[in-house]
Amino acid sequence: MSEGVGSRVAIVGGGPVGALNASFFALRGYHVDLYEARGDIRLAKHVRGRSINLALSHRGRQALASVGLEEKVIRHGVPMHARMIHSLSGKKMSIPYGKKDQYLLSVDRALLNKELLTAVEGLPKVKLHFNHKLQDSDMPNGTLLLNRPDGLPIEAHCDLLVGCDGAFSSVRRQLMRYATVDFSQTFIKHNYLELNIPPTSSGEFAMEPNFLHIWPRNTFMMIALPNMDHSFTCTLFMPFMEFEKITTNEQVLDLFQKFFPDSIPLIGIDALKKQFFRIPAQALMMIKCSQYHASETMVLMGDAAHAMVPFYGQGMNAGFEDCLVFDELMEKFHNNFARVLPEYSVLRVPDGQAISDLAMYNYIEMRAHVNSPWFHFRRFMDNVLHRIMPNTFIPLYTMVTFTRIRYHEAVKRWKKQKKTMNWFFFVFLTILPVSGAVLLCRKIPGQPHSIVPRLCGLSTKLPL
């Protein structure tokens, strides 16, 4: 890459996707300015018991590996080889995710972000600008308008504006002035709240560490992911109407007694009461766009392009894969933004839609009829079918989480598999028993009766 036209990239948003993306562009030789509205999270001191984690899987790891950051990040991860389903009675059952190398990694959000920022800061021609909030842009002329907390307005310049500024993206708002984008924003009935399960008094994990713990209770759902410090972070998903009803400590305890009794001693009664009201429950939403770019100067990645509900654990993974797909196109089209940007939308929009829809599908599915026996049965059957037909039947969760099969292809395959399975069950449960019955009831040649009376131990003399 030579300095000059098309060589200055501005990335808005220093979240996981923006920070990773900065590495991708820097390694291609671009001059990169990263603008983050908030301060440098590496300077914020860690508050004990406040680690929030997320599940990193294959797609995210492939993107990290492509810029040489996989090892650095997975050092901070706790492997989860199986889900652990907690039933209401307190019984626990686990079902593995797949083969030995198919596991999720529970990583600390803050640590992940710090690792990515530090890595990109060490690359040439990269500048990180914290406390810089994008206000406006005029990309036909390549100018940006940013604000600092002291209110000082700043003008900046770039050739490509990359919006990695999350679900409430400001870049997206500006992009939609220049491109014909269909856009939707959908809030769901559930909000979420995070709680902490501290290590035991001897410093051990309070539950089995290498699992994604799930308490499926139809409309009430809770999960817990392990942290490196031997604590767990629980996320409670509940209709906001229910959150609104809960205003006293007693109501919190009643709720947990009723739905998650085994978790009370683990969180601790006092901690539970305190943590429940620490901050209000947060809303969950989905953003869809029919196009992720405008001309050859603006492009969206991560939540800015496709925020989704968290019921597939893929939001960040999908955002990381965006960066990887974009980089693959940069290679293919020799860094020509005019060709890369439209192609990126063509490739990535169907996949963004597919994973958003799957996450929403899981949200509906998990409430509709997923209690612990059902959850267990479904995942058990997935594993059984995969074991007998490893090439024909790959569970959807496996395709999404442990492969790089394009999200929309995974959905197509899943629908085809469902058809095959339905046919298979139809044959075995209907045609075979029916034809069996017909054969049994047929008269045996040379005998006056079918085989049925004999099988039943009846005399064939009886008038059957």
Per CB under 6 A, residues contacting ligand EGO are 55, 83, 104, 212, 214, 221, 223, 237, 310-313, 362, 365-366, 370, 375, 378-379, 397
Site string for ligand FAD, 1-20 (x = CB under 6 A): -----------xxxxxxx--
CA–CA gap between residue 181 and residue 262 (Å, rounded): 48
Spatial CA neighbour of 94 closest among 83, 81, 110, 105:
83
> Per the structure block, which two tokens stand in for 321?
């894969």
Look at strands 82-86 and 282-289 and give their pairing: unpaired
Sign, CA dihedral 379-385-386-387, equals: positive
237 interface partner picked from ligand FAD, ligand EGO, none, CB below 5 to 8 A per type: ligand EGO
C-beta of 165: minimal distance to ligand EGO in Å? 23
Is residue 174 a contact point for ligand FAD (CB under 6 A)?
no
393 interface partner picked from ligand EGO, ligand FAD, none, CB below 5 to 8 A per type: none
Helix (H) or strand (E) holding 94: strand 92-96
Partnered with residue 162 across adjacent β-strands are 11, 299
CA–CA gap between residue 144 and residue 141 (Å, rounded): 9
The CB-nearest residue to ligand EGO is 313
Site string for ligand FAD, 283-302 (x = CB under 6 A): -------------------x
> Per the structure block, which two tokens stand in for 24?
């991708």
Sheet with 133-138, edge to edge strand ranges: 133-138, 143-147, 153-157
CA–CA gap between residue 411 and residue 388 (Å, rounded): 21
397 interface partner picked from ligand FAD, ligand EGO, none, CB below 5 to 8 A per type: ligand EGO
Judged by DSSP in three states, 65 sits in helix
Q: Which of residues 398-417 bind ligand FAD (CB under 6 A)?
A: none
Return the C-alpha torsion angle 25, 69, 58, 189, nearest 10: -70
- Smaller CB separation from ligand EGO, 63 or 370: 370
C-beta of 206: minimal distance to ligand EGO in Å? 19
- Smaller CB separation from ligand EGO, 339 or 378: 378
C-beta of 77: minimal distance to ligand EGO in Å? 13
38 interface partner picked from ligand FAD, ligand EGO, none, CB below 5 to 8 A per type: ligand FAD
C-beta of 210: minimal distance to ligand EGO in Å? 13
Return the amino acid letter for 121: E
Helix (H) or strand (E) holding 258: helix 249-259
Site string for ligand FAD, 183-212 (x = CB under 6 A): ---------x--------------------
> What are the angstrom distances between the C-alpha of 312 and each of 224, 397, 452, 461?
14, 8, 52, 65
Judged by DSSP in three states, 390 sits in coil
- Smaller CB separation from ligand FAD, 267 or 305: 305
Give the HSE-up count for residue 26: Cα atoms under 13 Å, Cβ half-sphere: 24
Among 98, 198, 319, 352, binds ligand FAD (CB under 6 A): 319
Site string for ligand FAD, 73-112 (x = CB under 6 A): ----------------------------------------
286 interface partner picked from ligand FAD, ligand EGO, none, CB below 5 to 8 A per type: none
Q: Which of residues 144-173 bind ligand FAD (CB under 6 A)?
A: 164-166, 170
378 interface partner picked from ligand EGO, ligand FAD, none, CB below 5 to 8 A per type: ligand EGO
> Per the structure block, which two tokens stand in for 172?
């997206």
Is residue 35 a contact point for ligand FAD (CB under 6 A)?
yes
Helix (H) or strand (E) holding 239: strand 232-239
- Percent helix, strand and coil across the chain, each rounded to 5? 40, 25, 35
Q: Which residues of 344-363 are buried (b: 16+ CB within 10 A; e: fewer)?
A: bbebbbebbbbbbbbbbebb
Look at strands 92-96 and 104-108 and give their pairing: unpaired
Instruction: Determine how many CB atoms are found less than 10 A away from the CB of residue 226.
Output: 25
C-beta of 106: minimal distance to ligand FAD in Å? 8
196 interface partner picked from ligand FAD, ligand EGO, none, CB below 5 to 8 A per type: none
15 interface partner picked from ligand EGO, ligand FAD, none, CB below 5 to 8 A per type: ligand FAD
Is residue 327 a contact point for ligand FAD (CB under 6 A)?
no
Residue ranges that bind ligand FAD, judged by CB under 6 A: 12-18, 35-38, 54-55, 133-134, 164-166, 170, 192, 235, 302-304, 310, 313-317, 319
